[in-house]
Amino acid sequence: MSLHSLRGFRDLLPPDSALFTSIEAAAREVFALYGYQELRVPTIELKELFVKATGDTTDIVEKEMYAFTDGGGREVAVRPEGTPGVVRAYIENNLGQTGRNGKYFYIGNMFRAERPQAGRYREFEQIGAEQIGNASPYADAETITMLVRLLEKAGVSGCSVVLNSLGCGECRKAYRETLLNYLRLNTATLCEPCKGRIERNPMRALDCKIDGPVLAEKAPRLSLCPACAGHFSRTQELLNISGVEYQVNTSLVRGLDYYTSTVFEVRSSALGSQDAVCGGGRYDDLVKSMGGPAAAAIGWAVGVDRMAMLLKDKPAAENAPKTFIVAAAKEAGTKAFALLTAMRAAGISSDFSNFELSLKSQMRSADKSGAAFALIIGEDELKAGTVAVKLLKEKGEQLSVAIADAPSEISKRLSA
Ligand code: HAM
């Protein structure tokens, strides 16, 4: 049997891998600008964490978790999303008391046993942001603005921001009955899993991948209490001030159980059926329900794989070496290796193939490398203590410089 990667899991080869790195770098810059600090949480947690936080009526927990019993007999799960781990870490490390501002970001791989298709993988990368301890609409507007800036900084364009409010527990208590009555009247249109879960969580049906789109169009709408309506309209005012464009869509419900109040998604029609680039919202009750202090919170996560799909036609970050070192004679290998070391020590990216190969083969590798200059040491150069500098991308005079001057000479030419 030949070894191969699992369905839904994939290798990220260059130059796609460079695309991921550039997205992550853009995100780190934006997070620094907004006062977010990195929080790294484990990939595997107690299964119960996700059952409680993500919610036992979600597709993620019901069908998609990689969960198993470990050697110690504990029920554990590989994280399907980042928010539960961040909330657990916040509570366990008492970050409400000891942390700086409650703003955390993470970059990491998540795992969901979904049916693989374009833009949907079983292992995928998320960049996420969570702000814990700020209940005001300023936090909503700030985090959505930051998300839009991150997409811009990474080079992703053509997306739309969709916004809704799911209200507080009080708003939803009244809505629950109305919606449940509607769903009971329409059980014939429900899929089997929804039939089994509407009594526990009727809103989940609106987000169901199978019957959700039809139901969400026609279902009765939630009406917000005055406090939630005020929060939602203030959030929109503040988004207008920061110049973020959005559309309110009252059928947006999101597929995780912890959401309250503001929820949002960023979508791109260029992605096809898996059009969500980002999802997020408030989860004002989660920290307390997980055993922590009463701390309102809001966050989001972007799918890096989907961002990379949107960037695919743009040129990947140039990471070719600046110089390529060539030994044109066997005896020149030692000097060539010392020069390679000196170039890198001077901060000039440099590469080589194998100083024991023929000049022709080394020059072929030099051309393929994308380097600007080949630095060649042959018998003559060895005697004279020099190096021949050849422009690779354009034709030009080959010149000779003293070997000791090569790093500064090349630096000068590269910045010219
Ligand atoms: P989510 O909507 O489940 O939210 O995922 C966020 C993003 O992750 C999606 O918009 C999508 O881009 C990406 N994503 C999800 N599943 C897959 C998949 N199978 N393959 C590729 N990309 C995928 C959350 O995970 C929440 N934790 C977001 C959040 C943070 N809410 C509050 N704080």
How is residue 254 written in tokens? 């999101």
Are 237 and 338 part of one and the same domain? Answer: no
* pLDDT single digits (tens) 55-102: 998 999 999 999 999 999 999 999 999 999 999 999 999 999 999 999
- 396 in a structural domain: yes
DSSP E strand stretches across 92-214: 103-111, 123-132, 160-165
Residues 6+ apart with CB under 8 A from 328: 359, 362, 376, 377, 378, 379, 381
pLDDT at residue 217, as a whole number: 77
Domains: count for the chain:
2
66, 107, 126, 261: which to mutate for ligand 1, most atoms within 8 A of CB? Answer: 126
For residue 397, the model assigns a pLDDT of 77
Whether residue 60 contacts residue 16, with contact meaning beta carbons closer than 8 Å, is answered with: no
Q: What is the pLDDT of residue 201?
A: 86
pTM value is 0.92
Query: What is the per-residue pLDDT for 174?
Result: 87
Of all atoms in ligand 1, which is nearest to the CA of residue 119? 21
- Among 279, 310, 341, the domain boundary falls at 310
Per-residue confidence (pLDDT) for residue 394, from 0 to 100: 79
User: Does 287 reside within a domain?
Assistant: yes
Q: What is the CATH number of the domain that holds 395?
A: 3.40.50.800
- In percent, how much of the chain has pLDDT > 90? 82
The verdict on residue 213 lying in a domain is no
Same domain, 333 and 402: yes
Domain end, chosen from 261, 276, 310, is at: 310
| Per-residue pLDDT at 231 exceeds 80 | yes
User: Could you tell me if residue 202 is inside a domain?
Assistant: no
Predicted confidence at residue 318, as pLDDT, reads 64
CA distance 263 to 284: 12
With pLDDT > 70 as the criterion, what percentage of the chain qualifies?
A: 99
In-domain check, residue 331: yes
Are residues 327 and 299 part of one domain? Answer: no
Ligand 1 lining (C-beta closer than 6 Å): 81-83, 112, 114, 120-121, 124, 126, 128, 130, 256, 276-281, 299-301, 303, 305-306
My answer on whether 228 and 120 are in the same domain is yes
In a shared domain, residues 36 and 133:
yes
User: Which CATH number fits the domain that encloses residue 40?
Assistant: 3.30.930.10
CB atoms within 10 A of CB 88: 21
Q: 138 and 87, same structural domain?
A: yes
Give the residue numbers spanning the domain of 135: 16-167+224-310
CA of 261 to the centre of ligand 1 (A): 18
User: Is the domain of 98 the same as that of 37?
Assistant: yes
- Are 304 and 357 part of one and the same domain? no
Q: What is the pLDDT of residue 162?
A: 98
- Look at residue 213 in the predicted model and tell me its pLDDT: 75
Does residue 331 share a domain with residue 291? no
Give residue 206 CA to ligand 1 midpoint distance, Å. 17
Residue 348 forms part of a structural domain: yes
Rounded to the nearest angstrom, the distance between the alpha carbon of 300 and the centre of ligand 1 is 8
pLDDT digits (tens, 9 = 90+) for 275-333: 999 999 999 999 999 999 999 999 999 999 999 999 977 665 567 999 999 999 999 99
For residue range 165-222, list pLDDT tens digits in order.
999 999 999 899 999 999 999 888 888 888 888 888 898 888 887 887 778 778 899 9
Asked whether residue 186 is domain-assigned, the answer is no
In terms of average pLDDT, the best of 20-29, 184-193, 389-398 is 20-29
42 and 67 within one domain? yes
Which atom of ligand 1 is nearest to 299's Cα? 33
* Atom from ligand 1 closest to the CA of residue 306: 12
Q: Is residue 121 part of a domain?
A: yes
pLDDT recorded at residue 200: 87
Q: Which residues contact 120 (CB under 8 A, 6 or more apart)?
A: 114, 274
Nearest-CA residue for ligand 1 atom 1 is 279
Tell me the average pLDDT across 344-351.
97
Per-residue pLDDT reduced to its tens digit, 120-149:
999 999 999 999 999 999 999 999 999 999
Find all residues with CB under 8 Å of 347, minimum gap 6, and list them. Answer: none
pLDDT score, position 316:
59
Q: Say if residue 110 is in the same domain as residue 238.
A: yes
303 alpha carbon to ligand 1 midpoint, in Å?
6
Q: How many Å lie between the centroid of ligand 1 and the Cα of residue 49?
A: 17
Of 254, 281, 310, the position where a domain reaches its end is 310
CA of 179 to the centre of ligand 1 (A): 26
Residues 241 and 371 in one domain: no
Name which residue sits closest to atom 21 of ligand 1, judged by CA: 120
Protein residue with its CA nearest to atom 12 in ligand 1: 303
pLDDT surpassing 70 at residue 343 = yes
Q: Best of 81, 209, 304 to mutate for ligand 1, by most ligand atoms within 8 A of CB?
A: 81
> How many whole angstroms from its chain centre is CA 308?
9
- Higher-pLDDT residue of 203 and 247 is 247
What's the whole-number average pLDDT of the chain? 94
User: Distance from the CA of 252 to the center of ligand 1, in angstroms?
Assistant: 15
